[in-house]
Amino acid sequence: MNFKSTGPRTVDGKARVSDNARSHGFLSHHLLVEGESPAKFAALLAALVADYQPVGVVETGLVEQVAIVLWRKARFVRAETAMRAHAS
């Protein structure tokens, strides 16, 4: 059985999801801290989308969440590295 979504089929459904592609732009402005590159986050997200090729709202949202988690994890590693260097 193939359970992959084929996306919205009705006009109403298409209208509801038409702004989904812009959601990562909104999120990216709120998850970045000073000095972080919006372009680098966008590149990370684009790479994940290319790798996983999400279909539909749920899969797209999950890929966006993965991008956010990876981004924040990298920030934590940078902060931890900086703290250790400062403590030495």
Residue written as token pair 């298409």: 14
Task: Give 12-56 pLDDT, tens digit per residue.
Answer: 766 665 555 444 445 555 789 989 999 999 999 999 999 999 999
Q: Hey, how many other C-beta atoms are within 10 angstroms of the C-beta on 23?
A: 13
Please give the residue that has the higher pLDDT: either 68 or 10. 68
Q: Is residue 78 part of a domain?
A: yes
Domain limits for position 88: 34-88
Q: Is residue 4 part of a domain?
A: no
Q: How many domains does the structure of the chain reveal? A: 1
Q: Given this model, what pLDDT does residue 6 score?
A: 65
Q: Is residue 44 part of a domain?
A: yes
Q: How far apart are CA 27 and CA 25, in angstroms?
A: 5
Q: Is residue 58 part of a domain?
A: yes
Q: Is residue 45 part of a domain?
A: yes
Q: Is residue 75 part of a domain?
A: yes
Q: Is residue 12 part of a domain?
A: no
Q: Is residue 54 part of a domain?
A: yes
Task: Give 1-15 pLDDT, tens digit per residue.
Answer: 555 666 667 777 666
